[in-house]
């Protein structure tokens, strides 16, 4: 099973505290977009049957996984998409992660692709085997993180950095050779001039979608948006109570023309 065990994340200095200005997305007229900012958010959707499942159960996870894939397909117009690496965060389990990071470094993306290919090809699920074959064929992929709260966020909101405000030197290089899912992440340093955003009192129907890997980019990694859990001044010293769910969704890019169509689809989605 492909997981992101928080206890295994190493080589990041958790003691360094930065005061980061966060702009509330509710105060902005236009939503951010995937192609410019590397992230966006969708709202107002209802998940059929969600009220009938036990919170944090396997059934709960499965229904959120399925909805995350559907959201990405609807947003991008992609036909081939599948989820992996999904989990809940809460005060009783994996807690919110207060480290500025993206899910995949360039080396981590390459390693993850190989691991996923192997896992998918061994799966008893035909749809995952199909994806494993696409990966083995060398198809280009795009990976997005789909993140949502389980209930209204009262503390430790997720903050996301606009990709267009980053500099190459903001990415930290610890020369790590990825060996497992816990060390595939990309660490980032905070710098004045970066633009960070959050959604105040984010609801369960308000879902972030943000880029974490673009295999069609010139450097074969592309946009991988930094994000982190932020402690607001009024919450300092408190145990985080936020509950959330996140998963990664892989989109198969069958041709360069297909990804151009996806970019056009994203643009029209917000116009």
Inside any domain, residue 15: no
- The domain total for the chain is 1
| pLDDT tens digit sequence for 33-79 | 999 999 999 999 999 999 999 999 999 999 999 999 999 999 999 99
| 49 is a domain residue | no
Q: Is 81 inside a domain boundary? A: yes
What is the SS3 assignment for 227? strand
* Amino acid 11: pLDDT: 41
Distances (CA, A) of 37 to 13, 92, 108, 158, 203: 26, 33, 22, 16, 22
The domain in which residue 95 lies consists of 56-269
188 vs 225: CA distance, rounded Å: 10
In a domain, 112, yes or no: yes
String of b and e for 217-240 (b: at least 16 CB within 10 Å)?
Answer: eeeebbbbbbbbbbbeeebeeeeb
Q: Is 60 in contact with 204 (CB distance < 8 Å)? A: no
Q: Is residue 150 part of a domain?
A: yes
pLDDT at residue 73 in the model: 95
Whether 263 is covered by a domain: the verdict is yes
pLDDT beneath 50, residues of the chain: 1-13, 267-271
**Is the residue at 1 inside a domain?**
no
38 domain-assigned: no
């Amino acid at each position: 099973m492909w997981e992101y065990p928080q206890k295994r994340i190493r080589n990041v200095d958790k003691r360094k505290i930065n005061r980061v200005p966060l702009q509330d997305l509710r105060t902005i007229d236009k939503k951010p977009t995937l192609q410019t900012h590397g992230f966006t958010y969708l709202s107002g959707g209802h998940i059929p049957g969600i009220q009938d499942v036990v919170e944090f159960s396997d059934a709960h996870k499965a229904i959120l996984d399925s909805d995350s894939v559907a959201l990405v397909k609807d947003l991008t117009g992609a036909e081939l998409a599948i989820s992996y690496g999904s989990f809940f965060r809460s005060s009783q389990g994996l807690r919110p992660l207060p480290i500025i990071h993206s899910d995949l470094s360039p080396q981590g993306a390459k390693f993850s692709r190989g691991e996923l290919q192997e896992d998918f090809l061994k799966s008893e699920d035909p749809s995952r085997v199909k994806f494993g074959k696409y990966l083995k064929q060398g198809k280009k992929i795009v990976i997005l993180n789909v993140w949502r709260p389980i209930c209204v966020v009262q503390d430790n909101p997720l903050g996301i950095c606009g990709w267009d405000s980053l500099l190459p030197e903001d990415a930290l290089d610890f020369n790590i050779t990825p060996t497992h899912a816990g060390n595939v992440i990309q660490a980032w340093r905070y710098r004045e001039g970066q633009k960070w955003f959050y959604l105040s009192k984010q609801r369960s129907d308000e879902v972030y979608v943000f880029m974490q890997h673009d295999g069609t980019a010139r450097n074969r990694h592309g946009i991988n948006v930094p994000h982190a859990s932020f402690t607001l001044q009024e919450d300092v010293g408190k145990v985080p109570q936020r509950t959330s769910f996140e998963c990664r969704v892989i989109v198969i890019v069958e041709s360069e023309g297909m990804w151009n169509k996806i970019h056009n689809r994203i643009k029209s989605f917000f116009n």
